[in-house]
Chain A
Amino acid sequence: MNDPELTPFDQELAKMLRRGRSVSVAGFAERVVVAARADRRRRVVVRWSSAIAAAAAVFVALLTLPASSEEALNRQTFALVAQDESAQLADLFGAAADLSLLAPVAERPAVVETFVAPGS
């Protein structure tokens, strides 16, 4: 006990509580061993079930996924592009778009400048 000051009440409390300190139960150890064995078996079954389920999932994935996924992705991309009408229109007007983009960059010849602004 840690408490150095034990009143008569504390002594009575200790006496009463210590009467219930140890409660031996006949056959308890055997019951525990039987339950532990059952628990061990259950855990083995759960472990194997998990392993089998994981293996089955991998097997199914191998069967259902395409062999070369990169090649399949390329094929899908080209198919989508072929179906895309906006891309086809862009191809048609692509040249005009290119010209309009280039126009501001083209410089007027020096002779044209002379005729346009004679007073300068």
Chain B
Amino acid sequence: MLPDDEDDKRLMGLVAGGDDDALRLLVHRHHARLVGFLRGEVGSQATAEELAMEVFIRLHRAAARWRPEAKLSTYLIHIAHNLVLNEWRRRGRKPTTALEFAPEPGDVSQGSARRVAELDEAFRRAILQLAPEQRTAILLVVQQELSYEDIAEIMDAPVSSVKTWIHRARARLRELLKDFHDQA
């Protein structure tokens, strides 16, 4: 196990005892990936932050009962996934709101920035058009780089279902992004 995981365990013990500094450290360590995942899921930065906040509140409440059977990061994504399911139910299974993504500069030249931004938005729109299970599975495997086994645990589903969702998600994305893909 990685040192970070061991440190997470130690910090969770402290959080269970009411140590706010330990909670602050855990949030600082894990929130960016969690918000990234949630933003991919719900398509809104504000909603992603609200849900991430709720994830950490639930983690804080469950700290005394938490057993380190899985990595804390996987546990957090598991809670986040359940909250996303509730969010979909609340919205009548329509995950999209107005997209709020801004292109992130850095790895592209100024000349191609516009083209990358268009592609970026097209990809994100396409992701939001996927069936919920497909979207979660593709985000977890590609964006969060989790194993099929971890994804199966997070989604409470067999590994075979996870593989099917990922396969279908790729096929659907290829279809939705055919125009951009052909131009590239």
List residues of A whose CB falls within 8 A of some B CB.
1-3, 8-10, 12-14, 16-25, 28-33, 35-37, 39-40, 43
Contacts and interface: CB of A to CB of B under 8 A. Distances in A.
B142 A28 contact: no
Given A17-B40, A23-B36, A40-B18, A29 B28 contact: yes
15 contacts: A1-B141, A3-B166, A8-B184, A16-B120, A19-B107, A20-B36, A20-B104, A22-B32, A23-B35, A24-B32, A28-B49, A32-B27, A36-B20, A39-B60, A40-B18
Contacts of B53: 28, 31-32, 35
Contacts of B101: 20
B155 to A, nearest CB: 15
Contacts of B96: none
Contacts of A19: 104, 107, 120
A2 B148 CA distance: 7
Nearest to A18: B143
B129 interface: no
A12 B31 CA distance: 25
A6 B138 CA distance: 14
Contact of A20 (B20, B39, B49, B57): B39
Contact of B56 (A2, A23, A32): A32
A45 to B, nearest CB: 15
A54 B8 CA distance: 39
B45 interface: yes
B93 interface: no
A29 B27 contact: yes
B18 A14 contact: no
Given A24-B35, A32-B56, 19 more contacts: A9-B173, A13-B142, A17-B142, A21-B144, A22-B33, A23-B32, A23-B35, A23-B45, A24-B31, A25-B52, A28-B53, A29-B24, A29-B25, A32-B23, A32-B27, A33-B20, A35-B53, A40-B18, A43-B61
B119 A16 contact: yes
Contact of A21 (B36, B120, B181): B36
Interface string B122-155: 0110010000000000110111110110000000
Given A2-B141, A16-B119, A33-B24, A25 B39 contact: no
Given A9-B181, A17-B123, A28-B31, A1 B23 contact: no
A10 B24 contact: no
Interface string B20-59: 1001110110011101110110000100110011001100
A35 B57 contact: yes
A1 to B, nearest CB: 7
B9 interface: no
A2 B147 contact: yes
